[in-house]
Structure 1
Amino acid sequence: MTETKDRSNFKKILKNSTVAGLAVAMMVGAVPLVVLNAYAEPVTVTAPQVPSFSDVVAAVQPAVVSVRVQSNIQNTSNDESNFSFNFGGRDFNDLPDDHPLKRFFKEFGGPGGPGGPNEEARPPRGPKGHGRHEGRLRPTSQGSGFFISEDGYIVTNNHVVDEGAAFTIVMNDGKELDAKLVGKDSRTDLALLKIENPKQKFTYVKFADDEKSRVGDWVVAVGNPFGLGGTVTAGIISARGRDIGSGPYDDYLQIDAAVNRGNSGGPDFNLSGEVVGINTAIFSPSGGNVGIAFAIPASVAKDVIEKLKDGGTVERGWLGVQIQPVTDDIADSLGLSEASGALVVSPQAGSPGEKAGIKQGDVVTAVNGEPVKDPRDLARRIAAFAPDTTVDVALWREGKATEVKVKLGELPTEQASATEGTEEDAAPAPAVEQELANLGLSVRPSEDGKGLAIVDVDPDSDAADKGMKAGETITSVNNQEVSSVADVQKVVDQAKKDGRTRALFQVQSESGSRFVALPINQG
């Protein structure tokens, strides 16, 4: 009776107690009692899944290639007199034949050695499929590219292929193919290659619609960084419309996908496998990736590549005026309601703009009815037209809106852009120095009688803040030529009567001409 009661009590203890991490064995009568270990369940978390890029990569990777470039390296002269060696006052030829230095040079290109002055000249040999070239072909650069057609057209950067003489395309599977240069465009840093004698159809990709690309969208960069072909990185579009100072057509996408040297010319894909941009530059203090890369937008690339494919060159419209941004101060001095458009510093002699009647001090506000935001916007709009196209250019002139028709010319090969003009020297000549009241400027008439040479600038003045310096010349105020302090004062007084708070000074320096708006309501 007592044994039965003890067994019942022990069962109650086990039922009401938790024993963790212990093994208990007891004998109750003749039956052993065992308590097993208790363990916690493994941690599991249910969380939103980040989209995988594997499907995109699998689809587009065969279309992305590595681009290897070789350039001509001119052979050195075979004239032995060009080789000079002095050892202890003796010439190379004075050394004994068994001298270690003489043996070294014979083996590695010195006089009497392979390729040295005493060896019979041999014609240089180019790589297979490229024939013979002047000089020797040496690897000079490598980058990335991608197919845009099944018959072998490849897009890359101009700076990757520039000055190249032979081009090798390395496909994702390691296969190497020869390519030729179809055309290149330095202003947008784009180039087009073509596989020579293609014997297969290639996987290719297409350009995306820029209007659908937004800041914050995912991008997948595929390329050949540091020669490591087939590398994939991912990020987002960080910004649009970036100007990095590389030219008048800067309109880059900024992305934060890891881009390094060798990625140049490589594509950035959206999640639909379309090319949204072409990598062209990185911002990096160290030379490596810091999360700021710049890509040529698909819309720019598509237009340029089509022109290269058709004729190997890109023809752009040319207006021929030097322009600068319209700041708030300049807009106020000209009576504009907002700071937009492009201020004409000067039309170039004989240019389409000059022939159409565009004058210095005009503000280009629209082209064919489309508003112009700034000088870069104007440069891109004009460049998008073919030469000989007639366009309507809206202007703001002397406080009124007007319009002229311009038959565009062709941007000259060496013409930098619509934003660059001719330089003129403006040297001050000895004359009586005078003060421009309340402007912080000391001036005197220029040597040729056109304008006022700046002799001194008050460092605490607005003129100094706007970058005006001694040695520069004031050529006009509010688009009226001035040659004396009295001329300036007359224009300023009239501006005050018109309710203006600033006057627009045209300043000539060694680097060109520009407009500066200065306050005139002081004192």
Structure 2
Amino acid sequence: MSPSSILRRHRVAALLGAALIFTPVVVSFAQNGGNVGLTTVAATTQTPVAGITAPNGSFAPIVATTKPAVVTITTVTKGQADTMSGASPFGGNSPFDQYFQQFFGDQGIPMPKTPPQQSPRQEALGSGFIVGADGTIVTNNHVIDGATSIKVTLDDGTELPAKLVAHDAKHDLAVLKVKASKPLPTVKWGDSDKLMTGDQVLAIGNPFGIGTTVTAGIVSARGRDLHSGPFDDFIQIDAPINHGNSGGPLVDVNGNVIGIDTAIYSPNGGSVGVGFAIPSNQAEKVVAKLIKGGNIEYGYLGVQIQPVTPDVASAIGLDHPGGALVAAVTEGSPAAKAGIETGDVITGFAGQEIKDPKDLSRAVADVSPGAKETLKVWRKGKTIEISADVGRNNEDGQTASNGEGGKPSAGQGLGAPSLGLGLTDITPDIREQLNLANNQRGAVIEQVNPDKAASAAGLQPGDVIVAVDQTPVKNARQANQAIAEAAKSGKKSVLLLVDRADTQIFVAVPFAAG
């Protein structure tokens, strides 16, 4: 893949190509032809190794068992004319914005920009591991993305052409197939759900193209969300991984694959002990689907969701934060047809507990389109069950807009003083300034006291309050009355549904801070 292509699609994490080496090459590789064969993964020949704890013991038995199944993957891609850009898709507010780096060039040296008239071929390096003795190999999607030819080098130095069986960009996973003259050594999947912070792990891959390398470390954290996709649930490790490690296995002390090395976090282009791996329990399911069916179809509900904070939970009567708060329901979507409403909190889906929006995104995506599933929903003080027909998601995930609305012209200023808000009605001038729909109703925030609770909650001039405590309001007077009633009822906070630049979000504003 070209540098510009990676920059556009995988800007900053290793899912973003962090462990790849890119160097120009002048020779041409023959593109593999023929149909891609879909075969079932053969049973592993690996014998589990008893747990060994270093430094009192040695990792040598684990390495002896797993290393022969680790491969180096070299791809040839066609360069593109446009040049690299430095903008980050995470945005300037992300803590990862400054330090996640895209690695190009041998030993991390940036590649020269390509003149528009040239389109050189490039070689990319990554790692992978064999899960089927028949030659089935797992790696990262970004390792093979855009490749015109793929070559696999086994641990004994044997070079084999590889065919792409199938790949999935959202999970950053790909399955390859090679033909060998004998059954190949394999590794088997482990249970990443059993991993605990502090557990020892080994990362195996081919950093910088110097040859298969083993590094040791511990699990530093679980469930890391890098905001790179809807399925982020990375294992963070301190075992050094570098350019070329992408797609290599992360194994536990029993020699089982419990992750796929995918990303690094680095201010200097090299390993600083902060790496990320896709959990095996997530990867194994996707790989099985890729082998059997090629393409993965994701389930779709059609809701815009956000976390339930303690203030939100207090405002809606939940005894603890949890679930996914529905901020908007897409018209005509499966959720709309099932009767899911704005303000609902989805606490369960298909028998699974939903602790946060990520849980819901993953659970829905894992369901086959057309399936009928039951949702547990908290609505107006009680739990109800709703049955929904899951649809098919044919679009990439979209990021909620963070755009700010323009400041409205001066109005009556019917304030909500306990929150630090100045509200006004939607006038024709304000409607035009904020580009509001003709049927838009609500109260426009005209002023926000920087020392009051509303400002701390993130409300801004130009926001339109369309509901208070899940009750729609048509104008500023209704909004103020509803806020006052919420304060008199003894609630600790009030829940506001706010329309900002065509995106609806719930904001819980505490009274105590006002």
Change (3 A) 1:451 1:425: farther
AA partner of residue 154 (structure 2): M
1:297 Cα shift?
0.6
1:5-404 matches, cutoff 5 A = 50-73=56-79, 138-195=121-178, 197-404=179-386
Cα distance in structure 1, aligned partners of 2:256 and 2:333: 40
1:426 Cα shift?
6.1
Q: Which runs of 5+ in 1 are unaligned?
A: 1-47, 77-116, 118-134
Change (3 A) 1:176 1:369: closer
AA partner of residue 372 (structure 2): T
Identify the residue that residue 9 of structure 1 maps to in structure 2.
none
SS state of the match for residue 254, structure 1? strand
Cα distance in structure 2, aligned partners of 1:416 and 1:356: 22
Q: Which runs of 5+ in 2 are unaligned?
A: 1-53, 83-116, 432-437
Specify which of 502, 509, 513 is matched with residue 504 of structure 2.
513
Identify the residue that residue 490 of structure 1 maps to in structure 2.
481
Cα distance in structure 2, aligned partners of 1:461 and 1:200: 72
1:493 Cα shift?
3.6
Cα distance in structure 1, aligned partners of 2:120 and 2:155: 25
Cα distance in structure 1, aligned partners of 2:272 and 2:403: 42
Question: Per-residue CA shift, 1:453-490, capped at 9, x if unaligned?
Answer: 22221111111111111222222111222232221123
Identify the residue that residue 37 of structure 2 maps to in structure 1.
none
Cα distance in structure 2, aligned partners of 1:313 and 1:376: 22
Contact 2:224/2:235 (<8 A) preserved: yes
Contact 1:394/1:401 (<8 A) preserved: yes
SS state of the match for residue 436, structure 1? coil
Cα distance in structure 1, aligned partners of 2:132 and 2:512: 64
1:308 Cα shift?
0.6
Identify the residue that residue 416 of structure 1 maps to in structure 2.
397
SS state of the match for residue 234, structure 1? strand
AA partner of residue 439 (structure 1): L
Identify the residue that residue 454 of structure 1 maps to in structure 2.
445
Identify the residue that residue 411 of structure 2 maps to in structure 1.
432
Change (3 A) 1:226 1:457: same
Question: Per-residue CA shift, 1:129-174, capped at 9, x if unaligned?
Answer: xxxxxx9772242111011101111111111111111111111122
Change (3 A) 1:389 1:425: farther
1:327 Cα shift?
0.3
Cα distance in structure 2, aligned partners of 1:444 and 1:271: 63
SS state of the match for residue 312, structure 2? helix
Question: Per-residue CA shift, 1:304-344, capped at 9, x if unaligned?
Answer: 00011112111221111000000000000001100011100
Cα distance in structure 1, aligned partners of 2:409 and 2:192: 58
Contact 1:70/1:137 (<8 A) preserved: no
Moved over 3 A (4+): 73-76, 420-431, 496-499, 520-523
Contact 2:201/2:219 (<8 A) preserved: yes
Cα distance in structure 2, aligned partners of 1:337 and 1:198: 59
SS state of the match for residue 443, structure 1? strand
TM-score (norm 1): 0.75
Cα distance in structure 1, aligned partners of 2:55 and 2:302: 55
Specify which of 491, 495, 498 is matched with residue 504 of structure 1.
495
AA partner of residue 461 (structure 1): K
Cα distance in structure 1, aligned partners of 2:388 and 2:55: 57
**What do you get for the CA RMSD once the two structures are aligned?**
2.4
1:358 Cα shift?
0.5
Contact 2:68/2:154 (<8 A) preserved: yes
**Pair member with larger Rg:** 1
Cα distance in structure 2, aligned partners of 1:424 and 1:363: 25
1:427 Cα shift?
5.8
Change (3 A) 1:155 1:194: same
Question: Per-residue CA shift, 1:253-296, capped at 9, x if unaligned?
Answer: 11110111211111011122110100111111112111111100
Contact 2:190/2:258 (<8 A) preserved: yes
Contact 1:320/1:347 (<8 A) preserved: yes
Instruction: Tell me how many residue pairs correspond in the alignment.
Output: 415
AA partner of residue 162 (structure 1): D
1:210 Cα shift?
2.5
Question: Per-residue CA shift, 1:227-271, capped at 9, x if unaligned?
Answer: 122011011112211112112211111111011121111101112
Question: Per-residue CA shift, 1:10-33, capped at 9, x if unaligned?
Answer: xxxxxxxxxxxxxxxxxxxxxxxx
Cα distance in structure 2, aligned partners of 1:212 and 1:321: 32
Cα distance in structure 2, aligned partners of 1:49 and 1:468: 54
Contact 1:440/1:461 (<8 A) preserved: yes
Higher relative contact order (CA 8 A, sep 6+): 2
1:423 Cα shift?
9.3
Question: Per-residue CA shift, 1:198-220, capped at 9, x if unaligned?
Answer: 33321111110224322222111
Change (3 A) 1:350 1:75: closer
Cα distance in structure 2, aligned partners of 1:285 and 1:508: 37
